[in-house]
Amino acid sequence: MVSTPPSQASDIQHELTRAEVEVDSLVKAPQQDIDIDLEFLYTRDIEFRQETIYFIVVDRFFDGEPDNNSGANSELFDTTGQSWGKYWGGDLQGVIEKLDYLKNLGVTALWLTPLFEQVEGLFVDNAAIHGYWIKDFKRINPRFIGKDENPSLNKTQETRDTTFDRLIAELHQRNMKLILDIVCNHSSPDISGVKGELYDDGVKIADFNDDKDYWYHHYGEVTNWEDEWQVHNCELSGLATFNENNSNYRNYIKAAIKQWLDRGVDALRVDTVKHMPIWFWQEFNAEIQNHKPDVFVFGEWIYNNPHDEPSVEFANCSGMTILDFGLCVAIRGALGQGAEGGFQLIQDIFDLDYRYNGATELVTFIDNHDMPRFQSLNPDPEMLRVAIALIMTSRGIPCIYYGTEQYLHDDTNGGNDPYNRPMMVNWDSDTEIYRYIRLLSGLRRLNPAVSVGSHQQRYITSDVYCYVRRYGNCMCFVALNRGEALVIDAVPTDFPDGEHTCVLSRRKFTVENGMLHNLELGPRDTIVLSRVGERAKGQVLVRAQLNSVRTQPGETIVVTGDCPELGNWDIAKAYPLEYINSNTWFAEIPFSESAGKLITYKYAMWREGRPPLRENLVSRRWFLASEGTVKWRDVWVSGRES
Ligand SMILES: [Ca+2]
Ligand SMILES: [Ca+2]
C-alpha cells in the first residue's frame, strides 16, 4: 500500500477542517442571512417511492365553485357536458371538497393537470381544458379559483390566501402532497392569428408573431421524428416552442416554478421532456433542487421504453425520473388486449431494469389523459383490478388516473382523446377496486420491500405471474392470474414456513419449505402476502444507492467508513447493501452516533474465498446533518486487485 505523502495528508486535513468550519458556520448562521438552508439541504430528501399518485384532469373532476365557470370567455364553457372540447366546470375548490374521499382511497400525492392561466380560445374545436397551452406561468387559470382571486399586475407573490393556497394547506393537513404539472417546452398554438403570447404575472413579455428577443424557435413542425435536432427545435402540433438558448426565457421559467414551490408544491411532473436538450433539464433541475432540495421531479418522455437509449440516458442523467411508458404499453398489451405473450411482455420490461439507475423510482401507470382508458381496451372490472394490483406491488411509483376506482370510462371512438376525460360522476367508496387501492397503498407505506426492494420473478406463464419483492427481511409475494381458475403445483415464495394471510382477501396460505403447494388461483385472481421486518432507525437515515457495480452470485456490496455505523474501516463490520438488480445495490443506513459529523466512506465488494475489493479512490465524504433523511446516489469506482 502506498502511504499518502505528508504534504497531501496535511492538505486533506486542512480541507476537512475547512469544510467542517464552513458547513458548521453555514448551518448555524441565522436563516435570514442565507438563501439556502444548508441543514435542509443535507437532511431533507423526499422519499417518493412509498407514495400512491392520483392524476386528475382538474376540469373533469368536481365543480366546487359554479361562479368561476364562465371564465373570461363564456363561449368556452359547456353547461351540458356534451362538448368534449369545452370546459365543464371542475376546479380547485372541487378538489378540496373531495380530499377526504381521496385520502380514504389511499391516495398520498395528487397530480393535477397544469393550473396556469391558459389562452382563451378554440383551437380545432378545443379549449385548453387540459392546461397545456399556457399564457402566464405565474398565474392560475381563473376557471380553477375564486372569481376575484387573480391579483392585479405583478402581485402573485404577495397573494397567499387563494383557493390554491387553501388546497395546499388542506393537502398538507392530511399528509398528502401536491404535484404541479409544468410545461417548459412550449406555450400556445395559433388561435385566430395569435400565437405564443406569453405573460409574466400579467405583463406581456413575448409573442411568437413579434419575436424581437428570440423567445421562440421558428423552424416549423417536426417532420422527421428520427432527427434529434428537429425534435428539440421544431414544433409539436403547432405549439410555439421556446428557445432555451435565451437566458431570459430560462430565468423566467425557473423563477415561475420556484414561486409555486415556495407556496408549498411538493413535486413536479414535467411535460414533453423529449423536446428540449438534456443540458436544459440538467440546469433546470440543479437550480430547482437547490431551491427546494426535497422536491421530487418526474418527466413525460412520450412512449419511452428501456430499449430506447436517449430516454434511458434522460432518466439516468437529467436529474429527474420519468413516467414508465414501456411498462404501461406491456401491461395494456398483456392485460388490456389479451396479447399472446401475456405476462412475459411485462417480465421483458422488468428484465431491462438494470439499464436505469433508479428503476424503483419510475412512475408507473396503466392509462392517462392521452390514451384510451384501460377499460376501453378491456371492460372486465376484474382485469382492471389485476392491472392495478400489478402496478401497486411491482417496482416503481404507481399513478392512478382519476375515476379508475369508479370504473369510469367512455368508449366512444375507442375511448380515444377526448373521450378518455369524462366527468367524474360516482364517489362510491365501496367498490372492489377502491378497496384494492386503499389496501395496497397502505402496503406501500408499510412494507419497504414494495417501495424500494428488488423484484424477482418466481413463476410465469402467459396467464400467471408470481413474483417476490424483497428488501432485507421484509418481503412481499404476489400472484396474478389473467386467465381462468387453475392450480399451480408449487411456487417458491422466500417466506418463512407457516400460515400467511392475503392482504386483499384475508385468505390463508400455508408455506412449507419456502413453497406454496397446490396454489389455487381463481379467474383474474390476485394474491398478495406481506411480511414486514425491522426497519432501520436512526437520527439520520441515509438511503445509499450504488450503481454500475457488477457482482457474481456470492458477491455482496458493503459500505465501509471512518465512523462506528460503518465499522470504523473494519470491513468485517461494514454496512451491507441489498441487491436490487444487476446495476443497483441499495440500503437505508441509520446514523446516530455520527449525526452532525463529517464522515468518510467508500464501497467494497465482499467475495467468498478472496480478499474484499475496495473502490479505487481515496474516499467519499459526507457531512451528516443532525437529523433527517438523505440520498446518496453513487457510482462504483472500479477497484484494483491487490
Ligand atoms: Ca367551477
Ligand atoms: Ca423544443
C-alpha cell at 76: 368556452
Same domain? For 471 and 545 the reply is no
The pLDDT score that the predictor gives to residue 35 is: 44
The pLDDT score that the predictor gives to residue 45 is: 57
CA 363 to ligand 1 center in whole angstroms: 30
pTM of the model: 0.92
Give the number of whichever ligand sits closest to the CA of residue 144. Answer: 1
The pLDDT score that the predictor gives to residue 172 is: 94
What DSSP designation does 332 have? Answer: I
CA 188 to ligand 1 center in whole angstroms: 23
The three-class DSSP label of residue 49 is: helix
CB burial class (10 A; 0-12, 13-18, 19+) of residue 620? middle
User: What is each CA distance from 498 to 470, 509, 511, 512, 535, in whole angstroms?
Assistant: 18, 8, 5, 7, 22
- Characterize 156-192 residue by residue with b for buried, 16 or more Cβ atoms within 10 angstroms of its Cβ, and e for exposed: beebeebbbbebbebbeeeebbbbbbbbbbbbbbbbe
CA 91 to ligand 1 center in whole angstroms: 5
Active site residue 405: no
CA 126 to ligand 1 center in whole angstroms: 18
How many independent structural domains does the chain possess? Answer: 2
Task: Give the orientation angle of helix 309-317 with respect to helix 278-291, to 10 degrees.
Answer: 20
C-alpha cell at 92: 380547485
What element of type H or E holds 621?
strand 620-623
Q: Could you give the CA distance from residue 239 to residue 217 in angstroms, rounded to a whole number? A: 11
CA torsion sign, 620 to 621 to 627 to 631?
Answer: negative
> DSSP labels for 306-323?
TT-HHHHHHHHHSSSEEB
| Three-state SS annotation for 153-210 | CCCHHHCCCCHHHHHHHHHHHCCCEEEEEECCCECCCCECCECCCEEECCEEEECHHH
Q: Could you give the CA distance from residue 472 to residue 249 in angstroms, rounded to a whole number? A: 47
What element of type H or E holds 478?
strand 474-481
Range of the domain at 484: 452-531
The pLDDT score that the predictor gives to residue 341 is: 97
CB atoms within 10 A of CB 444: 21
Q: Could you give the CA distance from residue 591 to residue 180 in angstroms, rounded to a whole number? A: 33
- Selection from 524, 550, 573 nearest residue 387 by Cα: 524
Give the number of whichever ligand sits closest to the CA of residue 145. Answer: 1
Active site residue 271: yes
- Selection from 628, 624, 632 nearest residue 586 by Cα: 632
Q: Where does a domain end: 487, 512, 531?
A: 531
- Is 516 among the domain residues? yes
CA 231 to ligand 2 center in whole angstroms: 7
| Domain CATH number, residue 30 | 2.60.40.10
- Is 183 among the domain residues? no
CA 145 to ligand 1 center in whole angstroms: 8
Q: Where does a domain end: 531, 548, 574?
A: 531
Peptide bond into 611 cis (omega under 30): no
Looking at residue 582, its amino acid is: S
What DSSP designation does 413 have? Answer: G
Rg, the chain, Cα only:
26
C-alpha cell at 103: 385520502
Same domain? For 471 and 519 the reply is yes
- Is 587 among the domain residues? yes
CA 315 to ligand 2 center in whole angstroms: 18
| Domain CATH number, residue 488 | 2.60.40.1180
Q: Could you give the CA distance from residue 432 to residue 510 in angstroms, rounded to a whole number? A: 25
CB 64 within 8 A of CB 120: no
| Three-state SS annotation for 422-449 | CCCCCCCCCCHHHHHHHHHHHHHHHCHH
CB 358 within 8 A of CB 350: no
- Is 248 among the domain residues? no
- Is 182 among the domain residues? no
Of the candidates 266, 300, 367, 588, the residue annotated as catalytic is: 300
- Is 17 among the domain residues? no
Cell 366546487 belongs to: 64
What element of type H or E holds 374?
helix 374-377
Cell 446495476 belongs to: 583
Give the number of whichever ligand sits closest to the CA of residue 222. Answer: 2
C-alpha cell at 354: 438494470
CA 238 to ligand 2 center in whole angstroms: 12
Give the number of whichever ligand sits closest to the CA of residue 233. Answer: 2
Same domain? For 541 and 629 the reply is yes
CA 321 to ligand 2 center in whole angstroms: 19
The three-class DSSP label of residue 385 is: helix
The pLDDT score that the predictor gives to residue 29 is: 36
Of the candidates 39, 51, 271, 324, the residue annotated as catalytic is: 271
CA 282 to ligand 2 center in whole angstroms: 15
Q: Could you give the CA distance from residue 404 to residue 216 in angstroms, rounded to a whole number? A: 38
Same domain? For 540 and 523 the reply is no
CB 396 within 8 A of CB 365: no
Same domain? For 523 and 553 the reply is no
Same domain? For 559 and 523 the reply is no
Same domain? For 540 and 526 the reply is no
Same domain? For 552 and 616 the reply is yes
Give the number of whichever ligand sits closest to the CA of residue 245. Answer: 2
CA 370 to ligand 2 center in whole angstroms: 19
Q: Where does a domain end: 495, 515, 531?
A: 531
Q: Could you give the CA distance from residue 571 to residue 615 in angstroms, rounded to a whole number? A: 12
Same domain? For 508 and 566 the reply is no
CB 420 within 8 A of CB 72: no
- Is 179 among the domain residues? no
- Is 167 among the domain residues? no
Q: Could you give the CA distance from residue 83 to residue 85 in angstroms, rounded to a whole number? A: 6
CA 221 to ligand 2 center in whole angstroms: 11
Looking at residue 574, its amino acid is: A
Give the number of whichever ligand sits closest to the CA of residue 244. Answer: 2
Same domain? For 549 and 513 the reply is no
Q: Could you give the CA distance from residue 56 to residue 111 in angstroms, rounded to a whole number? A: 6
Same domain? For 610 and 542 the reply is yes
What DSSP designation does 345 have? Answer: H
Backbone torsions φ then ψ of 37, nearest 5 degrees: -80, 105
User: What are the 10-residue block averages of pLDDT along the chain, 642 residues in total?
Assistant: 37 36 38 43 68 98 96 92 96 98 96 97 92 96 88 70 95 96 98 96 96 98 97 97 98 97 96 98 96 94 97 98 98 98 98 98 98 98 98 98 98 97 97 96 94 97 98 96 98 96 96 97 98 89 96 95 98 97 97 96 94 96 90 90 64
C-alpha cell at 321: 425520473
CA 58 to ligand 1 center in whole angstroms: 10
Q: Could you give the CA distance from residue 287 to residue 281 in angstroms, rounded to a whole number? A: 10
Give the number of whichever ligand sits closest to the CA of residue 239. Answer: 2
Measured at the alpha carbon of residue 145, what is the angle toward residues 142 and 147, in degrees to the nearest 5?
70
Same domain? For 527 and 548 the reply is no
CA 296 to ligand 2 center in whole angstroms: 23
Q: Could you give the CA distance from residue 440 to residue 31 in angstroms, rounded to a whole number? A: 40
Give the number of whichever ligand sits closest to the CA of residue 236. Answer: 2
